[in-house]
Chains A and B, each alone.
Chain A
Amino acid sequence: MVPSRPVSARRLLLLVSCVVALLLGALGGCSEVSDLPTATARPPAEGELPSAADFRAQLNKSRGFRDCFSVIRDPEFVTADAAEGFAGAELVMGLDLGRVQVAYPVLLLNHHEIVEHTIEGIDLLACW
């Protein structure tokens, strides 16, 4: 049996560095799976929100009543190929969350104005 040469400290350090670099490269590749974007709130700044009294005075209450439009709650979504009754020129409101996209037909939204559902664990409120 041929006796093995002892590994020098320098060679050992180089070997460890290569392994670490490979691991970091593999982890960096995992970021190609896009994370969901973060929703951000934009609160009203000073002067942007009317006083409660002004707001109430400016409300037009003559056009409807509570729940005059029925909310679409927790519907089932389909793929584009399975969507029936869609014309190419009709408008959709589109949401792009990176790894998932959702289209809401305006012609349907016109009659409901509000859609609530959850996707990717996010509780969404679509308004039109």
Chain B
Amino acid sequence: MHVREIDGRSLRFGHRGWLWHSAFVLYDTETDSIWHHQTGWAMDGPLRGKALPRYPTQLMTWRAWKAEHPGTLVLPKPNPTDPAVRSDDYARRNAVISYGLGVDLPGAFRLYPYVELDAGPVEEYVDGVPLVVTLDRTAGGAFAWDRRVDGESLSFEVVAEPDARPQLRERDGERAWWLRSGRPVAGTGADGPLRAVFANQWEVAAWGFQHPTGSRYPDSTK
């Protein structure tokens, strides 16, 4: 999710219709610069090298998102009965593609292939940031959080009971956070949300082309 503002100017964008290593690129209507839709980088044109500010987002099922955020707003489907918005045109394609969670830090890119996350949560330092990365197939997504709480780097275990929202519970402690939202679980002593690390789902192959300086778990981060 980007903030479409550069140097104090609010930009408008359109779809350029081109792909760069499987990722579509956009153009801004003011300068016709070409932008990467996921990194928010201007790849060509007068604004080349600029980067849009961005917010982390989470990908998960509608059911899981509503459970985490019951007061959420939603982008409605203009015609809810239209089959085009009730089924996934890319389902067959996506079924044969390997995906991972690409973490994007100021000094490093790192990919966590979902097949590697199936073994359980990963805790490690990347670019000096203590991360916990988990795959939640029930929710349909993976999540990356900064493990620092009040200046201390915590270690977590996943607590997932049937029909309940999974939690990240600190080892040797009582505090817990909801795994899918990073928000504190009331009554556990947790105070304040975990900080989301900027991360997106990527096709594993495409990620490699687009992050030549990145590393891939479980390889070394260096």
Asked if A82 and B19 make an inter-chain contact with CB atoms under 8 angstroms apart, the answer reads: no
Closest Cβ neighbor of B22 among chain A residues: A60
Number of interface residues of A (CB under 8 A): 74
Contact at B73–A107, with CB atoms within 8 Å?
Answer: no
Q: Is B92 an interface residue (CB 8 A)?
A: no
On whether the beta carbons of B75 and A101 are closer than 8 Å, the reply is no
Are the C-beta atoms of A66 and B54 separated by less than 8 Å? Answer: no
A111: chain B residues within 8 A (beta carbon): 84-85
Q: Does the CB pair B59–A91 fall under 8 Å? A: yes
A96 at interface by CB-CB < 8 Å: yes
B153 interface contact, C-beta 8 A: no
Q: Given that A67-B17, A95-B57 are known contacts, is A86 also in contact with B62, CB under 8 Å in the complex?
A: yes
| A8-16, A19-27, A71-79 - the one binding chain B | A71-79
Whether A68 is near chain B, meaning CB under 8 Å from some CB there, is: yes
Band of interface residues on B: 35 or more
- Does B13 count as interface, using CB distance less than 8 angstroms? yes
Nearest Cβ distance between residue B32 and chain A, in whole angstroms?
10
Known contacts A101-B73, A105-B85, A127-B37: A116-B17 contact under CB 8 Å: no
Asked whether A124 and B1 contact (CB < 8 A) given A63-B17, A94-B58, the answer is yes
B residues contacting A by CB (< 8 A) are 1-5, 10, 12-21, 24-27, 34, 37-41, 43-44, 48-55, 57-63, 65-66, 68-77, 80-81, 84-90, 104, 106-107, 140-141, 181, 196, 198, 211-213
The interface of chain A, by Cβ under 8 A from chain B, is: 37, 39-45, 47-50, 52, 55-56, 58-61, 63-73, 75-80, 82-97, 100-108, 110-111, 113-116, 119, 122-127
